[in-house]
């Protein structure tokens, strides 16, 4: 980490990098280009549907999908809330357990040897295969969905937290030793801050994965949630409704990832990867 | 095979000592043994009447490694305060502490107190490392080639800046380097090492304060040459 800090400014020059405004402009410009590309796709889609008279049963026009959503928002929003609630509780649960276990495993190579294979096994087993079991065990309510979302979140968070706690800079560690720092001090002042970039990078992926987990759970057996809406709509060939639910899920995924990104920008303002974009 | 053998060295309080030798001669290891970071298989090191680990426990050392150990998530000032926050039971040297902000000022870096290390050049970071070492209150400063990652122009500046601070505060400094000129310029005593052992210990009786004109003096050149001779004889 310290190597990438080598910069060329002279001995007495003062670094004047307005990180704040730069960061803002970076995120803003990426937001606008993303928005433009979304709108382009929707416009092309709309034109194709209208121009070639594509039947709504195959592919509804975006306009029809938006109308469906906004005229029935009182139908969609409670379902969206259920999915969001399941995904978020699952995400938090998976994250907390993963970080807790990560702390434990990073302390003991022995424990890691025993427990990591189990975590890997849980990770490689397709979540779709486990979902029906969870429904049988825990019923049609929110609990099995929360657990599925938690399992999906768990593994990337675990692996990254172990890496984050372990991969401290040797120099930093030696410096702490030279001060006779206790294990606890090394953990709190060195390992924890060191792990944050790792944790955020996993969290950005996991937060949208957790939505997927909730939807998978809802497909398997549920009475509410957007996964349930999609399943029902597909049974009745309600294409507008199905697409509207998909759009809401996509929007949810993007928003959640962005929220994690914003928190990351705030918390990790020191982290080089955040203002490195400037040199691209 | 022993990395270090037959090392016999005594260091006087308040002196500036350099351990000089080629890469891999064990000078960094010796520094780490003194600082309690590496345990010696045999032999004895005492700091006052303490073992290195005991001295470390009472925060008698301020360590300046080759790459400045500044935590990237702490601002410069927060990094300056790190030694104060850790191992708080050791209070013995607290009264000798110097105000971190004041020390930053002394190295001309008070304006970057609120910046993160990643925003500073390598030379500036190393100046922070040195300012921090002097502000901790520790009586013994251990410096492991602190300037070796810097370019020549920065190195020159840094040497005089270090001299300037040291002459004001007169702490014991053990300074590892592979630069003969650097060792002569800075030190009261240069310990010349060859792989695994001490070749010779040389008193440097150049007047202080040492200004940049001293490098042109015949006396300075004589010291440099005599050390060169020691290394040549080995080859």
Q: Which contiguous run of DSSP H or E holds residue B77?
A: helix B76-85
| Cis amide linkage into residue B209, ω under 30° from 0 | yes
Q: Please report, in angstroms and rounded to a whole number, the separation of the first and last CA atoms in chain A.
A: 18
Residue of chain A whose Cα is closest to the Cα of B161:
A11
Backbone angles phi, psi at A140, to 5 degrees: -90, 0
Give all domains of chain B, ordered by start, each with its CATH number: 16-234 (3.40.50.300)
A138-195 pLDDT, tens digit each: 999 999 999 999 999 999 999 999 999 999 999 999 999 999 999 999 999 999 999 9
Look at the block and give the residue holding tokens 């015949």: B218
Give chain B's count of helices (H) and strands (E): 8, 6
A221-271 pLDDT, tens digit each: 989 999 999 999 999 999 999 999 999 999 999 999 999 999 998 888 887
pTM higher than 0.90: no
The answer to whether B230 and B200 are in contact (CB under 8 A) is yes
What 3-state class would DSSP assign to B202?
Answer: strand
Chain B partners within 8 Å of A274 (Cβ): none
Position B1 scores a pLDDT of 52
Residue of chain B whose Cα is closest to the Cα of A6:
B122
What is the CATH T-level fold of the domain A72-279, as seen in this structure?
MetI-like fold (1.10.3720)
A83-122 pLDDT, tens digit each: 999 999 999 999 999 999 999 988 888 888 888 888 888 8
Could you tell me if residue B63 is left (phi over 0), alpha (psi between -120 and 50 degrees) or otherwise beta? beta
Q: Which residues, in sequence order, are bridge partners of residue B189?
A: B17, B203
Is the pLDDT at B2 greater than 80, yes or no?
no
* Cβ–Cβ contact A13 with B under 8 A: yes
Q: Residue A46 and residue A51: Cα distance in Å, rounded?
A: 8
In this complex, which of B63, B65, B112 lies closest to A15 when CB atoms are compared? B112
Which strands, in side-by-side order, build the sheet including B140-144?
A: B61-64, B140-144, B172-177, B16-20, B189-194, B197-203
The answer to whether A265 and A27 are in contact (CB under 8 A) is yes
- The complex's ipTM? 0.93
Read out DSSP for A207-261? HHHHHHHHHHHHHHS-SSSHHHHHHHHHHTT-HHHHHHHHHHHHHHHHHHHHHHH
Q: Looking at per-residue confidence, does B91 or B76 come out higher?
A: B76
Q: What is the DSSP letter of B178?
A: S
Read out DSSP for A126-171? -HHHHHHHHHHHH-SSSHHHHHHHHHHHHHHHHHHHHHHHH---HH
Rounded to a whole number of angstroms, the distance from the CA of B206 to the nearest CA of chain A is 27
Q: Where are the domains positioned within chain A?
A: 72-279
State both tokens at B45: 């090191």
Beta-carbon contacts of residue B190 (< 8 Å; ≥ 6 apart):
B17, B18, B20, B183, B184, B201, B202, B204, B223, B227
Q: Looking at per-residue confidence, does A187 or A26 come out higher?
A: A187
């Amino acid at each position: 980490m310290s190597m990438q800090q080598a910069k060329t400014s002279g001995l007495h020059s003062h670094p004047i990098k307005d990180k704040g405004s730069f960061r803002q402009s970076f995120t803003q410009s990426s937001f606008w280009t993303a928005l433009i590309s979304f709108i382009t796709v929707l416009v092309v889609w709309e034109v194709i549907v209208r121009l070639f008279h594509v039947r709504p049963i195959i592919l509804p026009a975006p306009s029809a999908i938006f109308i469906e959503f906004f005229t029935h928002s009182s139908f969609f929003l409670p379902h969206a809330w259920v999915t969001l609630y399941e995904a978020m509780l699952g995400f938090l649960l998976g994250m907390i357990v993963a970080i807790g276990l990560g702390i434990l495993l990073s302390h003991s190579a022995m424990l890691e040897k025993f427990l990591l294979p189990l975590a890997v096994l849980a990770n490689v087993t397709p979540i779709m295969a486990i979902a029906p079991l969870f429904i049988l065990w825990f019923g049609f309510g929110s609990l099995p969905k929360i657990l599925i979302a938690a399992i999906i979140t768990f593994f990337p968070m675990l692996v990254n937290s172990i890496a984050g706690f372990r991969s401290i800079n040797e120099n930093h560690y030696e410096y702490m030793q030279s001060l006779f720092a206790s294990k606890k001090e090394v953990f709190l002042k060195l390992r924890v801050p060191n792990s944050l970039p790792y944790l955020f990078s996993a969290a950005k992926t996991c937060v949208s994965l957790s939505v997927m987990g909730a939807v998978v759970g809802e497909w398997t057996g549920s009475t509410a949630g957007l996964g349930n809406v999609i399943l029902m709509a597909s049974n009745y060939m309600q294409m507008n409704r199905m697409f509207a639910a998909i759009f809401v899920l996509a929007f949810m995924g993007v928003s959640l990832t962005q929220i994690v990104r914003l928190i990351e920008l705030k918390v990790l303002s020191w982290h080089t990867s955040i203002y490195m974009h400037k040199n691209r | 095979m022993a990395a270090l053998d037959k090392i016999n060295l005594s260091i006087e309080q308040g002196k500036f000592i350099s351990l000089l030798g080629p890469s891999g001669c064990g000078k960094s290891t010796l520094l780490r043994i003194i600082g309690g970071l590496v345990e010696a298989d045999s032999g004895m090191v005492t700091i006052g009447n303490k073992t290195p680990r005991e001295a470390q426990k009472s925060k008698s050392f301020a360590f300046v490694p080759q790459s400045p150990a500044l935590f990237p998530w702490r601002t410069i000032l927060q990094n300056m305060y790190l030694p104060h926050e850790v191992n708080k039971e050791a209070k013995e040297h607290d009264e000798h502490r110097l105000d971190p902000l004041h020390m930053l000022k002394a190295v001309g870096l008070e304006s970057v107190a609120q910046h993160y290390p990643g925003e500073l050049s390598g030379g500036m970071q190393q100046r922070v490392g040195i300012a921090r070492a002097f502000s901790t209150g520790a009586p013994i400063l251990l410096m492991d080639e602190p300037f070796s990652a810097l370019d020549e122009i920065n190195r020159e500046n840094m040497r005089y800046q270090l001299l300037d601070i040291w002459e004001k505060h007169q702490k014991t400094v053990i300074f590892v380097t592979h630069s003969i000129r650097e060792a002569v310029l800075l030190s009261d005593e240069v310990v010349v090492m060859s792989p695994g052992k001490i070749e010779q210990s040389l008193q440097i009786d150049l007047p202080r304060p040492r200004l940049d004109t001293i490098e042109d003096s015949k006396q300075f050149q004589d010291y440099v040459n005599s050390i060169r001779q020691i290394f040549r004889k080995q080859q």
